[in-house]
Amino acid sequence: MGEVPMLLLALLVLHLSEFVVWVRPDVGLFRRRGRGWELASSGALISTVRGSLHWVYPLPGWARAYAVPWTTVNQPAGDPEGTVGLESVFSRSEVERRRNSVETAFQELRWLSWSLMAVIWVVAPVTLQWIGFRSMLWIVFPPLLVLMAVNAVRVFQTHRRQYPESGDERLRLVLSASLSPLAAIRSADLVHKEALEGFHPLAVAAALPGFRDWEKVAAVHWRRLNHAESERNDPGPEASSESARAKRRAWMDQIERLALERGLNPAAWDQPPSPTDPTHTQYCPRCRSQFTPAAVACHDCQWPRLLPIPS
Ligand SMILES: [Zn+2]
């Protein structure tokens, strides 16, 4: 392989390595897929108990992804009064408004990102091929440095306006964008990562155009609320206080409202399944796994109270 193709291959590997996102287990990552959006759940590049590594499309704009914490689902106690602000946490229109306003604020970064792409992926290879390595450096470096500097300054200023609380993330973004032109290409999308924090992931999913599998994702989380972790071992009144139950009910109501808005019937989420095998006579109401009569608890989620599958 010649020197130019070798160099381009190395550059491509470095470029692709920028387009991965680390996701903690308590966070939902929304990424572009096809013409719509999806929740990155399966197909992780690396998966551990501390989180998983997901890839996004390696092009500015298409690499957009939102990280939205789920924690509030299992711990509605995050809001002491339970229902204060719940309407806005679950508001599809507020998600849309926030998304559009962040989009507008960071719009100019897109042009910087595409300009950097053009210098690195068009100007550099062409000049390298025609006039050699040294002259290529003279042509490529000045615009590259100017674009990186403008990008870093604009990321810092706009990020500070949009996320005044998020100083650590800002420092990380600006530093990486100042040190590497390939990382600078990424900043136009990475600045959006925390834009929808504070909203419920199911409201985000409902607001993103062309989101796939909303009902599947919603039903799973609705069942986890309905058959909550805290009641797993002790269904008695002490283990699960009335107020905790009321909070979970309020969250479920909001999810049901989103479902009805989408023309879905949330009542179907708690119906017994049809057996996937003739020997299955019981199912887990929490995760829907099916079992033979010998099972006493769910093997998958350890839920202790299996229900019969009606024949
Ligand atoms: Zn289960």
For residues 303 and 234, the answer to whether their CB atoms sit within 8 Å is no
In the predicted model, what is the mean pLDDT of residues 3-32?
Answer: 91
Please give the distance, rounded to the nearest whole angstrom, from the Cα atom of residue 290 to the centre of ligand 1.
9
Please give the distance, rounded to the nearest whole angstrom, from the Cα atom of residue 94 to the centre of ligand 1.
34
Read off φ and ψ for residue 69, nearest 5 degrees: -65, 140
Residue 136's alpha-carbon distances to 13, 15, 182, 253, in angstroms, are 21, 19, 18, 62
The whole-angstrom separation of Cα 12 and Cα 182 is 10
pLDDT, position 83: 52
pLDDT over 90 at 246, yes or no: no
Please give the distance, rounded to the nearest whole angstrom, from the Cα atom of residue 220 to the centre of ligand 1.
11
Please give the distance, rounded to the nearest whole angstrom, from the Cα atom of residue 305 to the centre of ligand 1.
9
- Whole-prediction pTM value? 0.87
Please give the distance, rounded to the nearest whole angstrom, from the Cα atom of residue 271 to the centre of ligand 1.
15
Please give the distance, rounded to the nearest whole angstrom, from the Cα atom of residue 206 to the centre of ligand 1.
26
Which tens digit of pLDDT belongs to each residue from 250-307? 899 999 999 999 999 999 999 999 999 999 999 999 999 999 999 999 998 889 989 9
Please give the distance, rounded to the nearest whole angstrom, from the Cα atom of residue 267 to the centre of ligand 1.
19
Q: Could you please report the per-residue DSSP string of 120-153? A: IIIIHHHHHHHH-HHHHHHHHHHHHHHHHHHHHH
The whole-angstrom separation of Cα 240 and Cα 228 is 9
Please give the distance, rounded to the nearest whole angstrom, from the Cα atom of residue 287 to the centre of ligand 1.
4
| Domain ranges within the chain, ordered by starting residue | 272-311
In the predicted model, what is the mean pLDDT of residues 29-58?
Answer: 90
Please give the distance, rounded to the nearest whole angstrom, from the Cα atom of residue 189 to the centre of ligand 1.
37
Please give the distance, rounded to the nearest whole angstrom, from the Cα atom of residue 61 to the centre of ligand 1.
39
pLDDT over 80 at 233, yes or no: no
Residues that place a CB less than 5 A from ion ligand 1:
284, 286-287, 289, 298, 300-301, 303
Query: For 213, left (φ over 0), alpha (ψ -120 to 50), or beta?
Result: left
The whole-angstrom separation of Cα 160 and Cα 110 is 18
**Nearest CA-CA partner of 27 in 244, 257, 281, 204:** 204
Which tens digit of pLDDT belongs to each residue from 68-83? 998 754 444 445 454 5
pLDDT, position 103: 95
Strands 65-69 and 51-55: unpaired
Please give the distance, rounded to the nearest whole angstrom, from the Cα atom of residue 56 to the centre of ligand 1.
31
**Nearest CA-CA partner of 35 in 180, 161, 194, 210:** 210
pLDDT, position 241: 73
pLDDT, position 237: 54
pLDDT, position 75: 45
In the predicted model, what is the mean pLDDT of residues 179-195?
Answer: 95
Which tens digit of pLDDT belongs to each residue from 105-156? 999 999 999 999 999 999 999 998 899 888 999 999 999 999 999 999 999 9
Please give the distance, rounded to the nearest whole angstrom, from the Cα atom of residue 187 to the centre of ligand 1.
40
CA atoms within 13 A on the CB side of 105: 19
In the predicted model, what is the mean pLDDT of residues 145-174?
Answer: 95
- DSSP class of residue 119 equals I
In the predicted model, what is the mean pLDDT of residues 213-217?
Answer: 93
For residues 244 and 251, the answer to whether their CB atoms sit within 8 Å is no
pLDDT, position 149: 97
pLDDT, position 273: 92
Please give the distance, rounded to the nearest whole angstrom, from the Cα atom of residue 292 to the centre of ligand 1.
14
